[in-house]
Amino acid sequence: MIEVLLPFYGDPDLLRQTVASVRAQTSSDWRLIVVDDGYPDPGIATWFAGLGDPRIDYHRNEANLGANLNYMRALGLATAEYVVVMGADDLMLPRFLADVEAAVAAFPGVAIIETGVEIIDGDNQVIRPLVDRVKNRLTPSAAGPTELCGESLMVSLLRGNWTYFPSLCWRRDVIEKIGFRPDFHVVQDLGLLMDVLKGGGRMALSPEVAFQYRRHTGSDSAVKTLTGERFAEERHYFRTIADELGSAGLVRAERAARRHLTSRLHAAALVPSALGARNPSAAQGLLRHALARG
């Protein structure tokens, strides 16, 4: 069984679409755990109760915990060997869980599974923004399911994180021991990936598209990208992980972290937009990140 963890605080209509995509899986061996972080809409609990689906467990926090703590709350409710921490606005294609199960069977004990991902907008239309075209180019080539591990994988991810956090399936015991780094809220996905790999974890890549990641301007990540907050956090993270990798003797990975090339290029590409919006402080922050090396 694979458990799908669904921390929620957002658009109820998108949440319903996400739940429907889980229920439409060709694999029936799953459990969905929804943790509502106090979203102010009593109709959500009523809707879940009306589904009458014994595979779905709905929980509501008495107080808002925030994203990272709500992730950990959801993880604390899990019991399966493998879990997916899904975004409450993303969609699984019907084959997603079956592809994950096949990868686990092919590579026993693997710590992380990533499938092929395509990007959709707020209207469920497939789109190809520049940032995702770059991520696609950075993704390792694979004709079929393949296993990745070690410093080479660390270097690849530090050059440019080509994964999509909501689409990743994790071995639960591994990430329960590690948890999210409390100082990071935008790059917590890369932080967890690197910590798993530093501990010897392996990744299975199943390249066929099986997941739809929603990208829209209202997301927390998008807002923090435009204001430059994202890059301030990234700069702090890359310096932190570079020091750790250097202490561990992982010289190539340390070098990739200090360069963080695609992160800097991303910031540089946004400078004209910040200037056009007459936000010189944001432009300065973006330019500072683009020129910085750890």
Per residue in 199-241, pLDDT tens? 999 999 999 999 999 997 544 454 455 556 788 899 899 999 9
**Residue 158 and residue 257: Cα distance in Å, rounded?**
6
Q: Using a pLDDT cut of 70, give the percent of the chain over it.
A: 95
Q: Which tens digit of pLDDT belongs to each residue from 141-164?
A: 999 999 999 999 999 999 999 999
Can you give the pTM of this predicted structure? Answer: 0.91
Q: Which tens digit of pLDDT belongs to each residue from 240-259?
A: 999 999 999 999 999 999 99
CA nearest neighbour of 91 among 187, 215, 188 = 215
Q: Is the pLDDT of residue 111 over 70?
A: yes
| End-to-end Cα separation, the chain, in angstroms | 42
Task: Decide: residue 251, CB within 10 A, 0-12 exposed, 13-18 middle, 19+ buried.
Answer: exposed
> Per-residue b/e over 18-29, b at no fewer than 16 CB within 10 Å?
bbebbeebebee
Task: Assign 289 a pLDDT band (cuts: 50, 70, 90).
Answer: confident
Q: Using a pLDDT cut of 90, give the percent of the chain over it.
A: 75
Q: Which tens digit of pLDDT belongs to each residue from 263-280?
A: 888 788 888 877 877 788
**Residue 159 and residue 275: Cα distance in Å, rounded?**
27
